[in-house]
Amino acid sequence: MSLVIKQGNCCLIDHWEFIAKLYKDVLFEENYQSYTLSAKLFSITSEVRTRKRKKVYEELSIETSKIKRMYEEFIAKVPNSIKERISQKYNILDTSSVRDFSASLFQSTIFDHHSINGGSTSDIPLKCKIQNEYFLIPPNSRFYYGSVNEECHKLDSGIFDLVIADPPWWNRYIRRLKNANEQLSYEMMYNEDIAAIPLSNLLSSNCLVAVWCTNSPANIQAVKNLIFRNWGVRYVASWHWLKVAVDLSPICPFGTGSTKQPYEMLIIGKVGSVAPIPDGQLIVSIPSALHSHKPPLLDLLKPYINKEQPRILELFARYLLPNTTSVGYEPLKWQHISLYETVDM
């Protein structure tokens, strides 16, 4: 995860640094080369909201107020040297250029990998050729390309100690995007469809399950009371990922009601016995400009599993992680070599 600083229930992590460490000394045809994601993908600036109507005072929700207060107390204690280093490192492009850059990468990484399965048992990262395109493959990883429901039936039962899922929640905005762009492979699912994923048989006797969720109250309650119940999982904690700009300010203002928020929720459940998981953790990071490119959380979650080498499963994956089985329609999307820059060794 590449932890930058941690204070109490808050931590600042660096997605780019995690990738740089992961793909150091990649093996390809008996030669080694180091790679990292283009830093331009993290050149994120804050959004400024404009109001067409007269401003009306509205109170933030209890949850939003708590997150805002946690962030303000945390960021006030982050040394200026760290703030300056991050700003200098990622303040590369303007917002329009970043969007154009990420959009071009999205279009250039649309592949027909239907029913392709693969991976690596190597302890070092590899550069591999798949259907005449090159991809980076992390150590000890596997991928299954296809419907999550169907591919879960092909996996061994009772072996996974940690499961991370990023479901394509039903969303009007995403629906409009998909209507406008048929190449989006974002197949939205209703809560009942997510709950029907045959996951319960794949979980070990002591397992941690983490689900990325929108801020919709209906979806949050569905995870806790419907999805987890169907999977045989008990709810234990909710964490939040606060997305910040290169100056470490929130990417957009904290909003009221159903307006856009600068954070997303991670809902955590368990099966059997795991270490006590604190509620209300706040993870702060600059988000990738790539669509649904969530920050890596393995290093934050693994300490709560009482196993030295946990078996990890990621559902609806868009990129690969070490020691992880990744399942979905796009597990190789953000592995394509075009996203990466070589690093001098």
From first to last of the 345 residues of the chain, give the pLDDT tens digit.
588 899 999 999 999 999 999 999 999 999 999 999 999 999 999 876 555 444 444 678 999 999 999 999 999 999 999 999 999 999 888 888 999 999 999 999 998 888 789 999 999 999 999 999 999 999 999 999 999 999 999 898 889 999 999 999 987 545 444 444 455 555 789 999 999 999 999 999 999 999 999 999 999 999 999 999 999 999 999 999 999 999 999 999 998 777 889 999 999 999 999 999 999 999 999 999 998 899 999 999 999 998 889 999 999 999 999 999 999 999 999 999 999 999 886
pLDDT of 115:
78
Please count the CA atoms within 13 angstroms of the CA of 55 that sit on its side-chain side: 6
3-state secondary structure of 202: helix
Closest CA to 319 of 179, 164, 210, 207: 164
Q: Under DSSP, is residue 66 helix (H, G, I), strand (E, B) or coil? A: helix
Q: What is the pLDDT of residue 178?
A: 46
- pLDDT of 56 reads 47
> What pLDDT, on a 0 to 100 scale, did the predictor assign at position 95?
85
The runs of H, that is alpha helices, within the chain are: 15-22, 62-75, 80-90, 95-108, 148-152, 172-180, 191-195, 217-222, 228-231, 298-301
Tokens of 36: 């990292």
Largest CA distance in the chain: 65
pLDDT of residue 183: 53
Residue type (1 letter), 340? Y
Question: Order of strands, edge to edge, in the sheet holding 340-343?
Answer: 133-137, 126-130, 26-28, 31-37, 340-343
Residue 170 confidence (pLDDT): 84
Could you say which DSSP state residue 109 is in?
A: T
